[in-house]
Amino acid sequence: MHIIESGNVAAALGVKLAGVQVIAAYPITPQTPLTEKLSELVDSGDMKAEYIPVESEHSALSVCIAASSAGSRTFTATSANGLLYMNEQLHWAAGARLPIVMCVVNRGVGAPWTVWNDHQDAISQRDTGWIQLYACDHQQIIDTVLKAFCLAETVSSPVMVCYDGYILSHTYMPFEIPHEDAVQQFLPPFTPEYKLDPKFPANLNTVTLPDPRPDVRGELAPGYMEIRHNLHMDMRRSLDVIADIETKFTDVFGRGGTPFIEPYRCEDADYVAVCLGSLSYHLRDVIDMLREEGVAIGVAGLRVYRPFPDQAIRDAFSHKKGLIVFEKALSYGYEGPLYADIKAALYAVSDRPTVRNYILGLGGREIKTTQLAAALRESCQVSAGSTDVPEFIGLKM
Amino acid sequence: MAEQTTILNLTDEEFVHPGNRACSGCGLSIVYRVGLKALGRDTILVVPPSCLTVLQGLYPIAATQLPCLNVTFASTAAAATGVLGALRAQGREKTTVAAWAGDGGTSDIGLQALSGACERGEDLIYLCYDNEAYMNTGVQRSGTTPRHVITTTTPITGKHQKKKDVPAIIAAHGIDFVATASAAYPLDLFDKIKAAKQISGPRYLHIHTPCPAGWGFSSRYSVKIGRLAVETGLFDLYVIENGQFRLTGQSQKMLGKKRLPVIAYFKTQSRFRGMTEDQVAQIQSEVDAKWAGYEKMMGEEAGC
């Protein structure tokens, strides 16, 4: 069934279809309509789940951590400072290997206060051990929520589904609601390896020493460092799982097929614009415009930020002349974080493309098509080369 | 309250293994051993960082026979909420969920989550073992450290502020069961947890828990010192059930009788070594006023 609804409602309908059992959330703009919709679905009886209206984001993720440890499928959602308030719990959820799914409705962070969109919230949580997926439109939001649960429960790691505040969360677009039967085929009920149960007592997340230590039977249990190594290696392996799940999703629903990079007119392009989120769809119009001018350019939206799809980036871009990385986030004192990652991924490529970095749209600063076109025209000149420092688009100094 | 438990009919089933990592003379080891007996086998525990984390054992060895979820410092009551949500979603509501936290984890960093859980009416038993400072990190002041106590963060002139009255704060949420207890009166604690298990909703127990290392006394005196806190009227045993306050156990027996002077308690512990005579007198007058209030309240109840 196709409907026209907001991005937040698309996310809520995905959560309902996923058969989530425990939801905990605390309101923050622009996530609120998602939370409101979920509470309405549960309150009306349309969705059979526990909705727990907690007193903070820290508690929201606490509830999910504990409910997931007790064997239930769990969901929460937040934005900006709410995500930052969860920071300790983000690390905890990932370390405890819990398949929690969270929508991050991307918003700039304070101080000073802003409620408008950029990516600093999610990007700043890069090293918490969460998988980060990015959606570009409403269809991708609802689809990615379903894929996220499948992924989280396959690799025992929590997953963020990130989408742009207001630009996607509050705009209305047509999208298809996946059929329930198909969803059941794609995403079976959650069956945890262990759940808190007095019949099978276990002490979870205990103090763990630096070195491996024997248990009561004399078998060596891993130390903290082995546990961290496992988390890292499983994150790397999850790249394969992401690809497999995308194939499975495409088989069942007939959509998707681009797990890591969603290309647009990239095949014969010399230059490719790269970014996260809805901006990649915005850029498609600009690409069309430049193509008419004779510029051989395309755009690629990254669907996964962590684990970083470095091989997919090398496969897609090694032979290009230049990449132009547009980012709504900054690693203060250095450059755009995605720019740094892409450069690192291409380091071992002998004839690697030049890479340029543009910072834009911070705190909801309007991104104009003319600005994007000008930046791309400049970047596609033979003499352009790589940038030493990121350039800011639309800065009024 | 139901019939009183005695040492003769207290269950001999043990849930805490001997040889755990508690210090010798630890009040918590009494409280935890007896508390788990009262909670019973069909219980899931939620524990934030505290001495209890250490008592529980280091991975991969556990000191208790009940499932336990270790959680972050500020999240105890919210985590218990999450366990409850999952149990409801799975039709496992019969299992008891008990959160065990220290005084810092309750009165300071965990208070917001606890308040939220109380306001939402979560069906949990929350037990705060109050050893009156951050003992696990090395005796730093907490919200429930009493006035004038020397800690490692009040090292010279002692703590200048009063002890935070956490049971009163929790009672102000209008929950049906708030009680205090003491490690020195384990059977009273046992019966209070049993009583709490009979009802649903948020239930809060605040347990005075002597700590030889942090309070500065010989480990053989833990029970004696716990009793002195009650016998001097400094820490009172009571229950607030459905809003009705009543003293219980030893505190109830002390109504209308002469109490030991507070100095009898203070002089047993090196943490009070900085107190002046005036300060002792001031505390004595505050305890006298508090007990005059109890006597008046009980008199009024007897009169009507």
A215/B68 Cβ within 8 A: no
Instruction: Copy the structure tokens of residue B170.
Output: 């929790």
B112/A70 Cβ within 8 A: no
Mean pLDDT for the stretch of residues A240-256: 97
| pLDDT single digits (tens) A169-186 | 999 999 999 999 999 999
| Best mutation target, A62, A91, A215, A228, to test chain B (most B CBs within 10 A) | A62
8 Å CB contact between B180 and B167: yes
Question: What pLDDT is recorded for position A12?
Answer: 98
- How far is A67 from B92, CA to CA, in rounded Å? 12
Sort out which chain A residues have CB atoms less than 8 A from B46's CB and list them: 66
B85/A50 Cβ within 8 A: yes
Instruction: Copy the structure tokens of residue A219.
Output: 């078998």
* A75, β-bridge pairs: A23, A101
Say what percent of chain B tops pLDDT 70: 98
Sort out which chain B residues have CB atoms less than 8 A from A69's CB and list them: 69, 82-83, 86
Q: What is the 3-state secondary structure (H, E, C) of A27-90?
A: CCCCCHHHHHHHHHHHHCCCCCCEEEECCCHHHHHHHHHHHHHCCCCEEEEECHHHHHHCHHHH
Question: What pLDDT is recorded for position A44?
Answer: 98
Question: What pLDDT is recorded for position B19?
Answer: 83
Cβ of residue A39 closer than 8 Å to a chain B Cβ:
no
- How far is B136 from B73, CA to CA, in rounded Å? 12
Q: Is the pLDDT of residue B206 over 90?
A: yes
Question: What pLDDT is recorded for position A384?
Answer: 75
Q: Which of A52, A64, A204 sits opposite B69 (nearest CB)?
A: A204
* B244, β-bridge pairs: B241
Question: What pLDDT is recorded for position A209?
Answer: 94
| pLDDT single digits (tens) A29-82 | 999 999 999 999 999 999 999 999 999 999 999 999 999 999 999 999 999 999
Mean pLDDT of chain A: 97
Question: What pLDDT is recorded for position B2?
Answer: 61
8 Å CB contact between B28 and B129: yes
CB under 8 Å, gap of 24 or more: what pairs does A210-219 form? A213/B58, A213/B59, A213/B60, A213/B61, A214/B60, A215/B60, A215/B61, A216/B61
- How far is A94 from A91, CA to CA, in rounded Å? 5
Which residues, in sequence order, are CB contacts of B284 under 8 Å at separation 6+?
B261, B262, B263
Question: What pLDDT is recorded for position A228?
Answer: 98
- By CB neighbour count within 10 A (0-12 exposed, 13-18 middle, 19+ buried), where does A64 fall? buried
8 Å CB contact between A107 and A118: yes
8 Å CB contact between A226 and A234: no
At position B185, the amino acid (one-letter code) is Y
Question: What pLDDT is recorded for position A84?
Answer: 98
3-state SS class at A274:
strand
Q: How many CB pairs lie under 8 A apart between chains A and B?
A: 171
| pLDDT single digits (tens) B258-299 | 999 999 999 999 999 999 999 999 999 999 999 999 999 988
Whether the bond into A112 is cis, omega within 30 of 0: yes
- Closest residue by Cα to residue B117 from B79, B158, B71, B166: B79
- By CB neighbour count within 10 A (0-12 exposed, 13-18 middle, 19+ buried), where does A324 fall? buried
pLDDT greater at residue A145 or residue B3: A145
Question: What pLDDT is recorded for position B304?
Answer: 53
Cβ of residue A227 closer than 8 Å to a chain B Cβ:
no
SS3 content of chain B, % helix, strand, coil (to 5): 40, 15, 45
Sort out which chain B residues have CB atoms less than 8 A from A201's CB and list them: 62, 64-68
- By CB neighbour count within 10 A (0-12 exposed, 13-18 middle, 19+ buried), where does A94 fall? buried
B113/A58 Cβ within 8 A: yes
Cβ of residue A257 closer than 8 Å to a chain B Cβ:
no
* A160, β-bridge pairs: A102, A132
* pLDDT confidence band for A387 (50 / 70 / 90): confident
Give the β-pairing of A172-176 and A354-359: unpaired
Give this complex's ipTM: 0.96
8 Å CB contact between B175 and B118: yes
Q: Is the pLDDT of residue A196 over 70?
A: yes
Say what percent of chain A tops pLDDT 90: 97
Stretch (H or E) spanning A26: none
3-state SS class at B124:
coil
A198/B70 Cβ within 8 A: no
Instruction: Copy the structure tokens of residue A10.
Output: 């698309």
| pLDDT single digits (tens) A318-333 | 999 999 999 999 999 9
What is each CA distance from B281 to B159, B229, B276, B287, in whole angstroms? 17, 16, 9, 10
Instruction: Copy the structure tokens of residue A366.
Output: 């309007």
Q: Is the pLDDT of residue A358 over 80?
A: yes
Q: What is the 3-state secondary structure (H, E, C) of B213-237?
A: HHHCCCHHHHHHHHHHHHHCCCCCC
Question: What pLDDT is recorded for position B3?
Answer: 76
Q: Is the pLDDT of residue A241 over 90?
A: yes
Chain A CA closest to residue B80: A66
- Closest residue by Cα to residue B59 from A215, A66, A225: A215
Total count of residues recorded for chain B:
304
3-state SS class at B19:
coil
B59/A221 Cβ within 8 A: yes
Q: Which of B70, B75, B90 sits opposite A62 (nearest CB)?
A: B75
The CA angle A53-A42-A121, to the nearest 5 degrees, is 50
| Best mutation target, A38, A48, A54, A59, to test chain B (most B CBs within 10 A) | A59
Question: What pLDDT is recorded for position A333?
Answer: 96
At position B173, the amino acid (one-letter code) is H
Distance from CA of B17 to the nearest CA of A (A): 13
| pLDDT single digits (tens) B90-114 | 999 999 999 999 999 999 999 999 9
> For chain B, which residues make up each domain, given as ranges?
27-303
Distance from CA of A312 to the nearest CA of B (A): 37
Chain B CA closest to residue A224: B59
What architecture is the B27-303 domain classified under in CATH? Answer: 3-Layer(aba) Sandwich (3.40)
B56/A53 Cβ within 8 A: no
Count Cα atoms within 13 angstroms, Cβ side, for A299: 23
At position A261, the amino acid (one-letter code) is I
Residue showing tokens 């230590």? A213
Count Cα atoms within 13 angstroms, Cβ side, for A155: 31
- How far is B152 from B130, CA to CA, in rounded Å? 17
Mean pLDDT for the stretch of residues B150-168: 97
- By CB neighbour count within 10 A (0-12 exposed, 13-18 middle, 19+ buried), where does A243 fall? middle
A63/B90 Cβ within 8 A: no
Sort out which chain A residues have CB atoms less than 8 A from B56's CB and list them: 203, 206
- How far is B172 from B182, CA to CA, in rounded Å? 22
Sort out which chain A residues have CB atoms less than 8 A from B74's CB and list them: 58, 88
DSSP B25: T
Cβ of residue A216 closer than 8 Å to a chain B Cβ:
yes
A66/B83 Cβ within 8 A: yes
Q: Which of B62, B95, B113 sits opposite A198 (nearest CB)?
A: B95
DSSP B16: B
Alpha-carbon torsion, ordered B61, B62, B68, B74, to 10 deg: -80
- Closest residue by Cα to residue A356 from A345, A343, A369, A374: A343
Domain A261-392 sits in CATH at: 3.40.50.920
Say what percent of chain A tops pLDDT 70: 100
B86/A66 Cβ within 8 A: yes
* B129, β-bridge pairs: B102, B207
- How far is B90 from A21, CA to CA, in rounded Å? 9
| pLDDT single digits (tens) A252-276 | 999 999 999 999 999 999 999 999 9
Cβ of residue A194 closer than 8 Å to a chain B Cβ:
no
Torsions phi, psi for B15 (to 5 deg): -115, -20
Mean pLDDT for the stretch of residues B143-172: 98
- Closest residue by Cα to residue B254 from B276, B278, B237: B237
Mean pLDDT for the stretch of residues A149-166: 98
| pLDDT single digits (tens) B29-59 | 999 999 999 999 999 999 999 999 999 889 9
8 Å CB contact between A131 and A307: yes
Chain B CA closest to residue A213: B60
Cβ of residue A384 closer than 8 Å to a chain B Cβ:
no
Question: What pLDDT is recorded for position B303?
Answer: 66
Distance from CA of B231 to the nearest CA of A (A): 38
| A2-186 carries CATH number 3.40.50.970 | yes
> For chain A, which residues make up each domain, given as ranges?
2-186, 261-392
